[in-house]
Amino acid sequence: MADSDISRILPRVLIVSRRSVRKNKFVDFVGEYHLDLIVSYGAVPVIVPRVNGVHMLLESFEPIHGVLLCEGEDIDPSLYEAETSSLSPDELEEIRRLHASDTAIDKEKDSIELGLAKLCLERNIPYLGICRGSQVLNVACGGSLYMDIEKEVSKKCPEEHRVRHIDYDDYDGHRHLVNVLENTPLHDWFKDSLEEDKMEIWVNSYHHQGVKRLAQRFVPMAYSPDGLTEGFYDPDAYNPEEGKFIMGLQFHPERMRRPDSDEFDYPGCPKAYQEFVKAVIFYQKKLNSSTSVPKPIVLNQEMEKQRKVILRSFSLAKNIYSTRRELHPSKESELEAGAEFLESNTALSLQQENRLKQMGATVRNSNAYIERLKLNEEREKLARSVMGKMSVEQLSDLMSFYHMMGQICSEVVGKKLQGIVNDTAGA
Q: Establish whether 81 is a catalytic residue.
A: no
313-330 per-residue burial string, b: 16 or more CB within 10 A, e: under 16: bbebbeebeeeeeebeee
Ramachandran bin of 318, using left for φ above 0, alpha for ψ from -120 to 50, beta for the remaining angles: alpha
Helix/strand/coil percent split, the chain, to 5: 55, 15, 30
With contact defined as beta carbons under 8 Å apart, do 166 and 205 qualify? Answer: yes
CA distances from 153 to 147, 149, 171, 315 (A): 10, 5, 21, 75
User: Which residues, other chains included, contact 176 with Cβ-Cβ below 8 Å and sequence gap of 6+?
Assistant: 163, 164, 165, 202, 203, 205, 224, 225
With contact defined as beta carbons under 8 Å apart, do 357 and 343 qualify? Answer: yes
Q: Establish whether 252 is a catalytic residue.
A: yes
Q: Establish whether 131 is a catalytic residue.
A: yes
User: Which residues, other chains included, contact 71 with Cβ-Cβ below 8 Å and sequence gap of 6+?
Assistant: 18, 31, 130, 131, 132, 133, 206, 252
Catalytic-labelled residue, pool 152, 252, 269, 275 = 252
71-84 per-residue burial string, b: 16 or more CB within 10 A, e: under 16: bbbbbbeebbebee
User: Which residues, other chains included, contact 33 with Cβ-Cβ below 8 Å and sequence gap of 6+?
Assistant: 254, 255
Catalytic-labelled residue, pool 131, 165, 230, 269 = 131
Catalytic-labelled residue, pool 71, 113, 150, 254 = 254
* CA-based nearest residue to 164, from 195, 124, 210: 210
Instruction: Return contacts of 342-345, CB within 8 angstroms, 24+ apart.
Output: 345/420, 345/424
- Residues with a catalytic annotation lie at 131, 252, 254
